[in-house]
Amino acid sequence: MWSPLAPLHSRLSFVLSRRRLDDEASRELESHLEMLSERYINSGMSPDDARLAARRQLGNITLVREDIYRMNSIQWLDTLMQDGRHALRLLVRNPSFATVVIATLALGVGANVAIFSVVHSVLLKPLPYAAPDEIYSAEIVIPERIELIPSVPATVQMFWEWRAASTVFSGMTALRPWEANLVGDGEPQRVGAARVSANFFEFLGVPLAIGRGFAIEEEQPGRDRVVVISDALWRSRYAADSNLVGRAIAINGESHTVVGIAPPRLLVPTGTRLHALVPFAPRVDIWRPIAPTAAELKQESWDHGVLVRLPAGASLETGTQQLTAILNERTRRAMPGANIVATMRFVPIRETYAGKIRVRLLLILAASSLLLLAACASIANLFMARVATRAHEFATRVALGAGRTRILSQTLAEAMLLAGCGGAVAAAFAIYGARLFAAFGPEEVRAMGAASPNLPLLLFGLMVTLATGLAAGVVPAWQSYRRESIQELRAAARAALGGHQAARSRAILVGIETALATILLGASGLLLHSFTKVMTTERGYEVDRILAADLSLFGRQYASASARAAFYTGVLDKIRALPGVVSAGAISNLPAVAVWEGASRTILYDTDANLQSVVLARPVAMIRGVTDGYFTSSGTSLKAGRILTGDEQTLTAVISEALARRLWPGQPLETMLGRSIRQGSHLVPLMTIVGIVADTLPGGLDREPPPVVYRPYGQWSSGPMTLVVRTAQEPRALAAAIRAEIRSMDANLPILDVRTMKEIVSATVAERRFQMQLTSLFGLVALLLGVVGVYGVVSYNVACRTRDIGLRIALGAASGDVARWVFSQGMGPVVIGVAAGLVGTIATAVSARSLLFGITPIDPLSLGGVALVLLLTSSVACYLPARRAAALDPITALRTE
């Protein structure tokens, strides 16, 4: 009928100034009253009568003011603010309750968001390539060799044939590890590098930041002295000089021209991620075209990683068949008598980055989810107890006329306030936690870059917190509000406090919390036990008081084997002369980190006349060059015969036990001394076995020890060697002196970190350790939640049933009986929870067996220990209230309402 309401913004201005308007209205009404009174006085009434008449005429001033005030208010906003303030007051009065709930929520939700953001960036986020799902790593599978190695990479010749003839794949690129020693523009530095086919950067679909990639002509020796360097190296060594492109830099003693700078966040396979036999350095900073010389081509080295692109719609089957056919054709041509029939497998590129860590990450995610559940159970328990305490208060308020929805909205405001605070702390926790994870976590995670939780994830976390707050806070309260009359309310209040149903719900929650805590603690117990086993297992070399330094000889002065031998002899002599050095030696590949890397050859008996006919039946062994002093320095024990000296007159070798057992299964080791073998082909000279040493295991203990042939350095002189120095005291103290001695031999040699063997081995188990520490952290938090929960519930039960207890004592129950009764009531759900939790732990352990080392999933020590810890802590938590109950004075107890 009348015109519509004023627009919102003018309404808002009224709301904001309603107090002033109320003040003015009050003044207006007062003065109106006065003027009316004056009028009546002027017409002859007495002042009192006049005032009365005026009042009657004006009507109820308060009602008018209220009316005006209400016109200037937004009802629902007022209610909301009032509820909020009320909730805040209540929580401030109960700080412990608020703190516990907020902390629990923050831990539970925060941990989950942090870990989920890590999982997202490692397992889910698309890789930074063009059409990453099209990229696969191509690997060759030789069925007869599967038990030794599941697959092998390709040779460069294989790659060329594939590239020329493939019609299914839309692109192909090859890459293999390389090492670059930089001199000039700073300290001598060794950087990890890779030799790649010309189309490498185009294949990945990653445009270079400056300059260009490689041209196909540069894949020839002589035209391949061009490099692309990484953004990080460009900034650290060349100060982001924009004129670097086009300039020449010295790599490995030769001049190379920089043609391009890679973009900052280029992701390339590092370490052995692409394939165990294609080992890149932990970082790759320089790329150079693949351009094998004639000599390199004569040796077929199976150490090239090959990536292919399968376009949408193309069939992987067809592609596999095509490449396999080419592969087998070539193999037949090269080794006709060998009868090798290989197959191929294609691994999606995502697997190379995430494959090894997937199980671990998902387990951590599962653990944090369990923690969240435990947190929810804990909060639900807390809220239930709290609601029950206030049931009387609610009953009274309902009786006084408060609407039920109003009370509910107040509980809601409380829960939301807590959840909101919890969510805010959880967000901070999540961001910080993700950063910690990225900094200290497993290498795969660090390689994928920063894993900061993005906004959608944080919002999701906030929603989860609010939902948890809602569920835990409001649902238990809802039941109280479905009553009609005050009597029902009072009865319900009493029931809520001490009734069977409520007590059972609380007991169930305690059981659930305990079970979850058991699973988490059980998992961490198993991981801990496993870890100690890993650290104490015999590896075949010693770990204490040993220093290791990587060296790599490059440059023309070390081109000849004798020059290299002279260098190492010289530097080792100098190091041995240092005080505090017990012995020193060197090996081409340190077992702790590179047991499966480096040169490998097929080993033939002296009777083998033809390589091809036996190649698949003979073992493949890793070939290592060792100087004298290596075996004594590293502590590898001798099983038979003697170790190599620096002065071998004939071709000799020392083999590992694994090789000995492969070559002559079942025979005693001493009988093998003096026998001869060949490495690589039947055309090379024989070498005599003079000793057999113990097997060496890789630091992480995650693979079998390989067969190894150790050659004296004079007979197998590789450029890169690792010096191994045994010291009398703390090894680190000698690092500087050793560095100085090396530098005195050749100042241009880059020296990588001189590290102690303990540090090296520790780094190889870093992943395992991290997982153990994280799971233990979760376990401890869950334990804390559980124990606090048990204590709270039992104390609460005692408080509720004070009258019952008083009655029992009054009727003659001994205090011991009472204590026992309370105790058993409290421990009942705990015991069940522990039992259920142990079952859960065993189930988890069985499914994640690969993560356990040296122990079974039903490891009695870990599981027994965990059960003991839980039962003990819970017993203490039950005992304290039980003792309180036993000490109750029956008369006071009976008088309690």
Partner 1 sequence: MAKGKAPSRVDVLQGTLDLMVLKTLESLGPLHGYGIARRIEQISDALLKLNEGTVYASLMRLQQEGRISSSWGTSENNRKAKFYAITIRGRRQLTAETENWERIAAVMSRLLRTVEHV
Q: Least distance to partner 1 from the beta carbon of 52, Å?
A: 13
Nearer to partner 1, 64 or 563 (CB): 64
Instruction: State how far the Cα of 828 lies from the Cα of 851, in Å rounded to an integer.
Output: 33
User: CB-based contacts of 307: which residues, under 8 Å, 6+ apart?
Assistant: 135, 136, 137, 138, 172, 173, 174, 175, 203, 349
Residue 756 is classified by DSSP as E
Q: Which helix or strand (DSSP H or E) is residue 63 part of?
A: helix 61-71
Q: How many residues in the chain?
A: 897
Is 5 among the residues that bind partner 1 (CB under 8 A)? yes
The one among 12, 16, 71, 814 contacting partner 1 by CB under 8 A: 71
Nearer to partner 1, 3 or 850 (CB): 3
Nearer to partner 1, 3 or 167 (CB): 3
Nearer to partner 1, 42 or 242 (CB): 42
Which region among 2-10, 222-230, 788-796, 848-856 touches partner 1 (by CB under 8 A)?
2-10
Nearer to partner 1, 31 or 405 (CB): 31
Q: Least distance to partner 1 from the beta carbon of 64, Å?
A: 4
Instruction: State how far the Cα of 9 lies from the Cα of 25, in Å rounded to an integer.
Output: 22
Q: Which of residues 136-175 bind partner 1 (CB under 8 A)?
A: none
**What Å distances lie between residue 155 and 36, 138, 270, 292, 336, CA to CA?**
111, 12, 19, 11, 18
Say if residues 454 and 472 touch (Cβ distance below 8 Å): no
User: CB-based contacts of 189: which residues, under 8 Å, 6+ apart?
Assistant: 181, 182, 237, 750
The one among 23, 28, 217, 351 contacting partner 1 by CB under 8 A: 28
Which region among 5-13, 507-515, 619-627, 661-669 touches partner 1 (by CB under 8 A)?
5-13
Q: Which of residues 338-377 bind partner 1 (CB under 8 A)?
A: none
Which positions from 75 to 94 touch partner 1 by CB under 8 A, shown as an x/- string?
--------------------
Nearer to partner 1, 3 or 536 (CB): 3
Which region among 9-17, 96-104, 799-807, 841-849 touches partner 1 (by CB under 8 A)?
9-17
Chain centroid to CA 794: 37
Instruction: State how far the Cα of 837 lies from the Cα of 830, in Å rounded to an integer.
Output: 10
User: CB-based contacts of 636: which residues, under 8 Å, 6+ apart?
Assistant: 540, 541, 630, 693, 694, 696
Structure tokens of 801?
A: 């049933």
Q: Least distance to partner 1 from the beta carbon of 406, Å?
A: 23
CA atoms within 13 A on the CB side of 32: 14
Q: Least distance to partner 1 from the beta carbon of 82, Å?
A: 23
Nearer to partner 1, 32 or 332 (CB): 32
Nearer to partner 1, 1 or 92 (CB): 1
| Phi and psi torsions of 540, nearest 5° | 95, 0
Nearer to partner 1, 59 or 184 (CB): 59
**What Å distances lie between residue 609 and 36, 201, 248, 682, 683, CA to CA?**
133, 46, 50, 6, 8
Is 24 among the residues that bind partner 1 (CB under 8 A)? yes
Q: Least distance to partner 1 from the beta carbon of 409, Å?
A: 24
Q: Least distance to partner 1 from the beta carbon of 43, Å?
A: 14
Is 14 among the residues that bind partner 1 (CB under 8 A)? yes
Q: Which of residues 500-559 bind partner 1 (CB under 8 A)?
A: none
Structure tokens of 640?
A: 């038979």
Is 812 among the residues that bind partner 1 (CB under 8 A)? no
Is 737 among the residues that bind partner 1 (CB under 8 A)? no
Structure tokens of 823?
A: 């105790």
CA atoms within 13 A on the CB side of 713: 31
Is 72 among the residues that bind partner 1 (CB under 8 A)? yes
Which positions from 30 to 69 touch partner 1 by CB under 8 A, shown as an x/- string?
-xx--xx-------------------xxxxxx-xx--xx-
How many residues of this chain interact with partner 1, rule: CB under 8 A? Answer: 30
Rounded to a whole number of angstroms, the distance between the first and last alpha carbons of the chain is: 59
Q: Least distance to partner 1 from the beta carbon of 17, Å?
A: 11
Nearer to partner 1, 37 or 320 (CB): 37
Is 12 among the residues that bind partner 1 (CB under 8 A)? no
The one among 4, 668, 816, 860 contacting partner 1 by CB under 8 A: 4
Structure tokens of 208?
A: 């270079």
Nearer to partner 1, 72 or 722 (CB): 72
CA geometry: angle at 306 spanning 300 and 310, to 5°? 145
Q: Least distance to partner 1 from the beta carbon of 57, Å?
A: 6
In order, the DSSP letters of 72-137 are T--HHHHHHHHHHHHHHHHHHH-HHHHHHHHHHHHHHHHHHHHHHHHHIIIIISPPSSSSGGGEEE
Nearer to partner 1, 41 or 616 (CB): 41
Q: Least distance to partner 1 from the beta carbon of 69, Å?
A: 9
The one among 29, 45, 141, 745 contacting partner 1 by CB under 8 A: 29
SS (H, E, C) 427-455: HHHHHHHHHHHHHHCCHHHHHCCCCCCCH
Nearer to partner 1, 2 or 76 (CB): 2
User: CB-based contacts of 67: which residues, under 8 Å, 6+ apart?
Assistant: none
Q: Least distance to partner 1 from the beta carbon of 16, Å?
A: 13
Instruction: State how far the Cα of 1 lies from the Cα of 831, in Å rounded to an integer.
Output: 72
From the list 679, 690, 684, the residue with the least C-alpha distance to 603 is: 679
Q: Least distance to partner 1 from the beta carbon of 3, Å?
A: 6
Which region among 10-18, 552-560, 703-711, 724-732 touches partner 1 (by CB under 8 A)?
10-18
Q: Least distance to partner 1 from the beta carbon of 18, Å?
A: 10
Structure tokens of 658?
A: 């694994």
Which region among 19-27, 674-682, 839-847, 849-857 touches partner 1 (by CB under 8 A)?
19-27
Residue located via tokens 């004079």: 714
| Phi and psi torsions of 728, nearest 5° | -80, -40
Which residues of the chain form contacts with partner 1 (CB under 8 A)? 1-6, 10-11, 14, 21, 24-25, 28-29, 31-32, 35-36, 56-61, 63-64, 67-68, 71-72
